[in-house]
Structure 1
Amino acid sequence: MTSDYRCPFDNLLIVDLEATCDKDNFDYPPEIIQISVRVLNTREKVIREDLSFDKLIRPVINPKLTDYCVELTGIDQESIDKADTFPEVYDQFSAWLKEHDFQEKRFAFVCDTRQDMWRLAQYQFLLNKQPLPTIFRQWVNLGYHYEEDRRKAPVQDTWGPSLIEKMSGFYNIPFDGHAHNAKDDCAFLAKITKYLLDNGKLVTINESLKCISGMRNVPFTVDPEWKGNFESACKVFQAILPLVSTPTKRYFVEDYYGKCLYCFDATCTGLEHKQYPAYVYEQLKEPSDLAITAEITFFLFPPLPC
């Protein structure tokens, strides 16, 4: 155990997002319905139990939650109906960051995978027709640390089907609460982050969003049943979402923060698709509800003047 944490940030903000969903339909437009944030102060080496941000968010496009979503997240319809919409909650979150003096470049988000930032946050801001804020364009992906540690382990064990279950079993840290509820997931992920730091891990930005990536230059055959298969759906979304998530092995905050790590342009908003995947759209048996709902193609090809 080291005397100081190996982390260049004063605070790590562990974040988890939950969104609207439907069983066996991964093309269902995901609107964020819950955001939870826990704070790990890396200088004092503590999880701030006195400081957190937890909000439910009322969806607009599909205001009624599916039975599957209610069961998965534990969030009931009555609570959602009373919640504020995403723009209102995001303003509250921005005010919370300012109130507690969380300065850009001095904190980083921590997520369990790429899904929260690459898919959910990016998509929500596309729905709002707004550029993705700088703070969401780079983060710590805990899944990379878990996979690295697991490969080095003398015994390979599956532990469970979900990443949360796998990390809980592998690191021997119990999970308390309702799985897929952002508040409970976030509290657990904060413990995982502290465990890694306590054991000398370097915890810094290891994933970010780019406008162009080499992996998107390689055409692939779309699974005809992609809407019902999560991995197949992610391949489609990787092609059709304007910004793509890529591992980041070396990250220099002063040089890279707020910039697309492909074009290094701070004005790369993510509203224009610089690798438009026409071949993917051509293979779809039916249009993508996710793309149509966010008018992703509209950003790319606005209607011609009459």
Structure 2
Amino acid sequence: MASLVVYDLEFTTWEGAVEGDWSAPGQLREIVQIGAVRLDEALAVQGEFEVLVKPVVNPRLSSYFVELTGVRQEDVDRDGVPPADALGRFLGFCRGETALSYGNDMVVLGENAGWARARGEALDHGLLTTPFLNIRPWLNALAPATATANSGRLWKVLGLPRPTDGAEHSALFDARSVAAALRHLRANGHALPAGCR
């Protein structure tokens, strides 16, 4: 393993969307924020990535999303980039290395890439050059206390020092939290999942 990427997404949501699996009319899981850290063989951070994305179908963020993530409408309006641009930048950051998420974020990446392509937008890098792995089942099996924790709370559940800067449900902070959990498990003698080697 030369390096790997741990990433997290924040995407459009509304009150009750999780329970309804985003099935209400117009409820799409459009990415609003991508955060990632590149880790070396010792799981030390070698680089970070963060980008805000302008949703297309639902350009106005719900108050529920804003309260949950802290991402404000004015931030996205000012600093957000088109989805295809954000995805291309993220995939370039991954450089074909294994990309780990705490959950099935790769499904949301695929949805967003598909919508961008349907709009005629091209991605600078393809999804197929990066192996994606959901490490949640592995992590929950080794540390059962994490089973009900979201990515941004892993550090707390495992009794680890708080990651620097940010808050839970901020994509970069959540990626740092997952990376801290990986370091903790490795320090306790657990090998990373097979897909990481």
Name the TM-score, length of structure 2 as normaliser.
0.78
How far, CA to CA, are the matches of 2:152 and 2:50 in structure 1?
Answer: 23
One-letter amino acid matched to 2:87: Y
Partner of 1:192: 181
Question: 2:156, 2:162 within 8 Å by CA — same for their partners in 1?
Answer: no
One-letter amino acid matched to 2:58: N
How far, CA to CA, are the matches of 2:54 and 2:179 in structure 1?
Answer: 26
How far, CA to CA, are the matches of 2:103 and 2:147 in structure 1?
Answer: 16
**1:246-261 correspondence runs (5 A):** none
Partner of 2:159: 172
Offset at 1:181? Answer: 1.0
Equivalenced residues, count: 181
How far, CA to CA, are the matches of 1:62 and 1:126 in structure 2?
Answer: 16
Indicate yes or no: 2:106 matched with 1:122: no
Question: 1:12, 1:109 within 8 Å by CA — same for their partners in 2?
Answer: yes
How far, CA to CA, are the matches of 2:151 and 2:91 in structure 1?
Answer: 28
Which stretches in structure 1 are left out of the alignment for 5+ residues? 1-8, 152-157, 207-250, 254-306
Partner of 2:137: 144
Question: 2:10, 2:69 within 8 Å by CA — same for their partners in 1?
Answer: yes
Partner of 2:150: 163
How far, CA to CA, are the matches of 2:50 and 2:152 in structure 1?
Answer: 23
Residue in structure 1 matching 2:89, options 79, 87, 92: 92
How far, CA to CA, are the matches of 2:58 and 2:160 in structure 1?
Answer: 36
**1:10-21 correspondence runs (5 A):** 10-21=2-13
One-letter amino acid matched to 2:127: P
Partner of 1:260: none
- Cα RMSD of the aligned pairs, angstroms, is 2.8
Is the radius of gyration larger for structure 1 or structure 2?
1
Question: 1:160, 1:166 within 8 Å by CA — same for their partners in 2?
Answer: no
In percent, how many aligned pairs have the same letter? 22
Question: 1:117, 1:136 within 8 Å by CA — same for their partners in 2?
Answer: no
How far, CA to CA, are the matches of 2:152 and 2:88 in structure 1?
Answer: 33
Indicate yes or no: 2:66 matched with 1:77: no
1:125-177 per-residue CA deviation (whole Å, 9 max, x = no partner) reads: 221236971145531x33223322245xxxxxx57953347633442114453
Partner of 2:35: 36
How far, CA to CA, are the matches of 1:197 and 1:159 in structure 2?
Answer: 16
Which stretch of the first structure deviates more once superposed, 187-196 or 52-61? 187-196
Name the TM-score, length of structure 1 as normaliser.
0.52
Which structure's relative contact order is higher, taking Cα pairs within 8 Å and 6+ residues apart? 2
Question: 1:34, 1:54 within 8 Å by CA — same for their partners in 2?
Answer: yes
Partner of 1:210: none
How far, CA to CA, are the matches of 2:84 and 2:136 in structure 1?
Answer: 29
Offset at 1:123? Answer: 1.2
One-letter amino acid matched to 1:143: R
